[in-house]
A and B are shown apart, each in its own frame.
Chain A
Amino acid sequence: MATPATPAAPRTNRLGLSVVEYKGAKSTLCAGCGHNAISERILEAMYEMGVPPERVAKLSGIGCSSKSPAYFMSRSHAFNALHGRMPSVATGAVLANRELLALGVSGDGDTASIGIGQFVHLMRRNLPILYVVENNGVYGLTKGQFSATADLGAKLKTGVQNDLPAIDLCTLAIQLGATFVGRSFSGDKRQLSAMLRAALAHRGTAMLDVVSPCVTFNDHEGSTKSYAYMKEHDVPLHELQFVPAFEDLAVEYDPGTTVDVTMHDGSHLRLRKLEEGYDPRDRGRAMSRLVEAQAGGDVLTGVLFVDAKAPSLVDLLNLVDAPLATLPAEAVRPPREVLDALMDALR
């Protein structure tokens, strides 16, 4: 066994930060929980993209999934809000400080059940946020009841069967106006990593529905959100390659077999087609394909829809460049003459 003479300098990202700077507290989730894997992928993506941790605001609702922001990136501010209400808190935070990179972490109960109202309106506002739903089809934290993403016919461990149709968050998000919509699986390291990195480069709402098995309450035979089910039914639409703006785009692409999307910041999302004719810039096609897949019990994964040009809420509100939160008093309190004029008008 060879021992190097000098220990290798720790690998760092383009900010000179090592991956340790992106770590969080020790996870208290169950070993093997899909949420832990997603935390890892988020941490890596942030590290690899060279995102300054201080720029990130981690926002979540309530649930096992919503706890997970404590387990990565301790150098980022975080807000563990109310069950189903993370979108409003995120909206306020981003409007207060447009320089923040908002990361929303939610669960399927948090988003598709109690929080569906706020989710719907966040999507239609196209708030700049990376919104990750860690979807296990159940309420983990309250011990395994069905959520609204549970598939028709899925069974709980107790044998209880779900008789109601599932809410498909991706179809919904696309229809509502989200501008980057993807689905992945906590167990697919490569796909999820590339998707997260691309989503970080997106300006607008990036909604990722990540199937994330709950090993304690929903990983059994009869579950449609188990590791085993996903291994059999995961249908990737394409192979994802993400080339950030700060890296060279070495190879030309072949328009016949590859779709190349230039992101807001100049980075490139390359999708090598596995399915003929799927173009993630086509909203209508994306929705009909999702409906087809759901009917057939397939779980379509990949970047389902992307519109890199739509204006975000921050653009629509035409906010000043500096964060509203720290504008000086002169910028926000009008001078005495304004009050005098207002008073005169009321005389």
Chain B
Amino acid sequence: MASPDSSVAPLPAARPDGGARVNDFSIQVATANGSGSQSSNTVLLRAIFQMGVPVSGKNLFPSNIAGLPTWYTIRASRDGWIARKKEVDLLVAMNPETARDDVLGLSAGAAVVYDAPLALAELRPDLVYYPVAFDALVEPLTKEPKLRRLLRNMAYVGVLARLLDLDLGEVEHAIEKQFPGKPRARDLNVAAARAGFDHAATLEKRDPLVVRRMDRTAGKILVDGNAAAAMGALFAGVTVVAWYPITPSSSLVETLIGHLRRYRIGPDGKATFAVVQAEDELAAVGMAIGAGWAGARAMTATAGPGVSLMSEFAGLAYYAEIPAVIFDVQRVGPSTGLPTRTAQGDVLSTAFLSHGDTRHVLLFPGSVEECFTMGVDAFDLAERLQTPVFVMTDLDLGMNVWMSDPFPYPARPLDRGKVLGKDDLDRLGGFARYADVDGDGIGWRTLPGTPHPKAAYFTRGTGHDEQAAYSEDPRTFERNLARLEKKLDGARDLLPAPVREGSGEAKLGLLAYGSSDPALREARDQLRREAGLDSDYLRVRAYPFSREVREFVEAHERVYVVEQNRDGQLAALLKLDLPAALVPRLRPVPHLDGLPLDARTVSDAIRAEEAR
């Protein structure tokens, strides 16, 4: 079969509105890991953002430093949808290894900018092709082959700017932001973008995609969830940070260290914080717990494999009632299990981490702003409840760049929880560490070093009485467990309440959490517009569940629980919590391919179920 030459390829048949598709498309850039495309893609994303158009970016990268294929998708959405979109409207094919499959996977009518030697136009007749000889474009810019490789990627930004009618000035501004204090890198990259821009003037525009200025991003910020959580910890006044590097959590701590060095070292060079890179996650969480015991605001950050290692310590801290904050930036599977792909796979195991009747407080931020606010709140909650608090983000939220309103300065003062000092002990004449004097299940604690002869108590795991003395007495043990249950039950009212959307009148309920939120909101819209299905939506923000969760299930005939895992982990927790009569209302909607959730997956699944 003869393949048509690109220059005579038929124009795409489908142009629904007969004209331009303004601010509503997605771009996929296919490159090799480590080729510097991350900077180019950020510049492209930022330039669209600066044009006032809502935008989101998803980096789909391999567990590798250099060489393996990487894809970056950018979605511009005039309606403000920022979930991933599965359909690609414009492909930038730079990676010979994947180019063929990338092209074959497109829908008819999509546009392809590609590196000319790849000769992709022969593959299919139903696409719009823009071959560009990138090597020739960047050749005049530098003699260094390594630099040329990087500049090729900035050149495609210039090509896209011309094709999409992006303001070149915004591209240059974005480049400036990308290379602060590096004039040479900035200039070279600007030159590369310009070379692409100029060259693209010779291409005949044959696709409908354009960017037009809007005003929907004014005042907004672009940030990833890890940076947001790091700021949360900073403004929570964290003092001890112990960690062990693991993707996708490392950048959280690395960003935090930068902030601490900048903002928490006095003029005398003395630090109001301690950071230790521990030997493993057991030690990292042990340090956080030791520090929390001694009164510091202490944290660690990790991913699933680290959480597994922290299991025994989590149980100890639960029973000894010690505050600590653990950020779990979830990813797929143990060992070499897609470590750079996203998932909500640690929910069930973390809720009950360790052995015995342990149960932990989990927070589920659903946006970068909540990575910040919950990053602050987690420290207050850990000290108020005297227990470890897990902030369950994920790779999509943590490592991808999201558009957001600027973060609010914390409204409340730090809550340091129930701590007795020397004066209190003078007044009280003593205390019982694990006595429920206030009826909320939470005892008062003292910090080591408190200069009072009655301040000390002996901290140990499960077997202790109200005075913290060793005890194996069955009644004492039962009483202690009952008090802990009361404490966790009371936590429901202290934790972030769920967020409701919808009239409350629909028969259909959608329930989700974390990074699924943007896809859920868009899916609701699709269900209403495309299938006439009205739904209410509840976004759960914490475990133990708020009492509102049960009310929501009670008020809906069917509740679709959408999660980024196979087994319905949150649904399993709901089943334990809800009265048996309500359990059949829950319908799990799993998503488990390691890619960020998109709206279409959700609405398709629900429509199919509803049609049965």
**A210-B46 Cα distance, complex, nearest whole Å:** 63
Interface-centre pick from A76, A121, A313, A333 (highest chain B CB count, 10 A): A333
Chain B residues in 8 Å Cβ range of A336: 409
Which residues of chain B (432-447) have a CB below 8 Å from chain A?
446-447
**A323-B295 Cα distance, complex, nearest whole Å:** 9
CB pair A93–B291 under 8 Å, yes or no, is yes
CB pair A118–B283 under 8 Å, yes or no, is yes
Q: When A54-B452, A92-B242 are in contact, do A118 and B447 touch as well, CB less than 8 Å? A: no
In the complex, per-residue mask of B465-489: 1 if CB is within 8 Å of any chain A CB, else 0: 0000110000000000000000000
Which residues of chain B (34-92) have a CB below 8 Å from chain A?
none
CB pair B456–A75 under 8 Å, yes or no, is yes
**A53-B294 Cα distance, complex, nearest whole Å:** 16
Cross-chain contact of A334 among B223, B263, B295 (Cβ < 8 A): B263
**A327-B447 Cα distance, complex, nearest whole Å:** 13
Chain A residue with Cβ nearest B414 = A329
In the complex, per-residue mask of B400-414: 1 if CB is within 8 Å of any chain A CB, else 0: 000000110110011
A8 within 8 A of B: no
Which residues of chain A (75-104) have a CB below 8 Å from chain B?
75-82, 85, 87-97, 99-100
Cross-chain contact of B457 among A54, A55, A77, A100 (Cβ < 8 A): A77
Interface-centre pick from B291, B448, B459 (highest chain A CB count, 10 A): B448
Q: When A77-B455, A89-B293 are in contact, do A121 and B283 touch as well, CB less than 8 Å? A: yes
Chain A residues in 8 Å Cβ range of B446: 77
A117 within 8 A of B: yes
Q: Smallest Cβ distance from A111 to chain B, in angstroms?
A: 14
Which residues of chain B (260-310) have a CB below 8 Å from chain A?
263-264, 266, 269-276, 278-280, 282-298
Which residues of chain B (380-420) have a CB below 8 Å from chain A?
406-407, 409-410, 413-414
CB pair A54–B407 under 8 Å, yes or no, is no
B552 within 8 A of A: no
A153 within 8 A of B: no
CB pair A339–B240 under 8 Å, yes or no, is no
Interface-centre pick from A54, A90, A120, A327 (highest chain B CB count, 10 A): A54
Which residues of chain B (215-248) have a CB below 8 Å from chain A?
219-223, 231, 234-240, 242
CB pair B286–A92 under 8 Å, yes or no, is yes
Q: When A319-B271, A338-B263 are in contact, do A92 and B296 touch as well, CB less than 8 Å? A: yes
Chain B residue with Cβ nearest A125 = B276
A342 within 8 A of B: yes
Q: Smallest Cβ distance from A168 to chain B, in angstroms?
A: 21
CB pair B458–A70 under 8 Å, yes or no, is yes
CB pair A96–B223 under 8 Å, yes or no, is no
A6 within 8 A of B: no
Chain A residues in 8 Å Cβ range of B231: 339, 342
Q: When A92-B289, A93-B290, A99-B449 are in contact, do A77 and B456 touch as well, CB less than 8 Å? A: yes
CB pair B296–A334 under 8 Å, yes or no, is no
Interface-centre pick from B222, B409, B452 (highest chain A CB count, 10 A): B409
Cross-chain contact of B316 among A55, A75, A81, A117 (Cβ < 8 A): A81
The bracket for how many chain A residues form the interface is 35 or more
CB pair B270–A319 under 8 Å, yes or no, is yes
**A125-B276 Cα distance, complex, nearest whole Å:** 10
Chain A residues in 8 Å Cβ range of B142: none
A331 within 8 A of B: yes
CB pair B414–A324 under 8 Å, yes or no, is no
CB pair B294–A97 under 8 Å, yes or no, is yes
**A87-B313 Cα distance, complex, nearest whole Å:** 13
Cross-chain contact of B291 among A95, A313, A319, A327 (Cβ < 8 A): A95
CB pair B274–A95 under 8 Å, yes or no, is yes
CB pair B448–A57 under 8 Å, yes or no, is yes
Which residues of chain A (293-339) have a CB below 8 Å from chain B?
313, 317-321, 323-327, 329, 331-334, 336, 338-339
Q: When A57-B449, A96-B239, A329-B414 are in contact, do A88 and B287 touch as well, CB less than 8 Å? A: yes
A161 within 8 A of B: no
Cross-chain contact of B294 among A82, A100, A317, A334 (Cβ < 8 A): A100
Chain B residue with Cβ nearest A67 = B470
Chain A residues in 8 Å Cβ range of B219: 347
**A95-B313 Cα distance, complex, nearest whole Å:** 19
Cross-chain contact of B274 among A25, A77, A324 (Cβ < 8 A): A324
**A242-B156 Cα distance, complex, nearest whole Å:** 74
A52 within 8 A of B: yes
CB pair B456–A92 under 8 Å, yes or no, is no
Q: Smallest Cβ distance from A13 to chain B, in angstroms?
A: 15
Chain A residues in 8 Å Cβ range of B276: 91, 95, 125, 313
CB pair B298–A96 under 8 Å, yes or no, is yes
B451 within 8 A of A: yes
B460 within 8 A of A: yes
**A327-B297 Cα distance, complex, nearest whole Å:** 10
Chain B residues in 8 Å Cβ range of A59: 290
Cross-chain contact of A117 among B237, B279, B447, B450 (Cβ < 8 A): B279
Chain A residues in 8 Å Cβ range of B273: 324, 332
Chain A residues in 8 Å Cβ range of B451: 52, 54-55
CB pair A54–B449 under 8 Å, yes or no, is yes
B453 within 8 A of A: yes
Chain B residues in 8 Å Cβ range of A91: 242, 276, 283, 286-287, 290
Chain B residue with Cβ nearest A54 = B451
Which residues of chain A (47-80) have a CB below 8 Å from chain B?
52-55, 57, 59, 69-70, 74-80
A343 within 8 A of B: yes
Chain B residues in 8 Å Cβ range of A1: none
Chain B residues in 8 Å Cβ range of A339: 231, 235, 407, 409
Chain A residue with Cβ nearest B275 = A317
A346 within 8 A of B: yes
B334 within 8 A of A: no
**A324-B292 Cα distance, complex, nearest whole Å:** 11
Cross-chain contact of A323 among B220, B221, B449 (Cβ < 8 A): B449
Q: Smallest Cβ distance from A134 to chain B, in angstroms?
A: 18
Chain A residues in 8 Å Cβ range of B117: none
CB pair A100–B237 under 8 Å, yes or no, is no
Cross-chain contact of A87 among B236, B283, B407, B452 (Cβ < 8 A): B283
**A240-B267 Cα distance, complex, nearest whole Å:** 44
CB pair B290–A82 under 8 Å, yes or no, is no
Pick the 7 closest A-B CB pairs, nearest first. Answer: A92-B290, A88-B286, A325-B295, A332-B237, A92-B291, A96-B296, A77-B448
Q: Using a CB–CB distance below 8 Å, which chain A residues touch chain B?
A: 21, 25, 52-55, 57, 59, 69-70, 74-82, 85, 87-97, 99-100, 117-118, 120-121, 125, 313, 317-321, 323-327, 329, 331-334, 336, 338-339, 342-343, 346-347
7 A/B residue pairs, CB under 8 Å, sorted by A: A92-B293, A93-B294, A96-B295, A100-B294, A117-B283, A325-B294, A334-B263
Q: Using a CB–CB distance below 8 Å, which chain B residues touch chain A?
A: 219-223, 231, 234-240, 242, 259, 263-264, 266, 269-276, 278-280, 282-298, 312-313, 316, 320, 406-407, 409-410, 413-414, 446-453, 455-461, 469-470
Known contacts A57-B448, A334-B234; 10 further A-B pairs (Cβ under 8 A): A53-B453, A74-B458, A91-B276, A93-B294, A95-B274, A95-B287, A95-B291, A325-B447, A329-B237, A346-B221
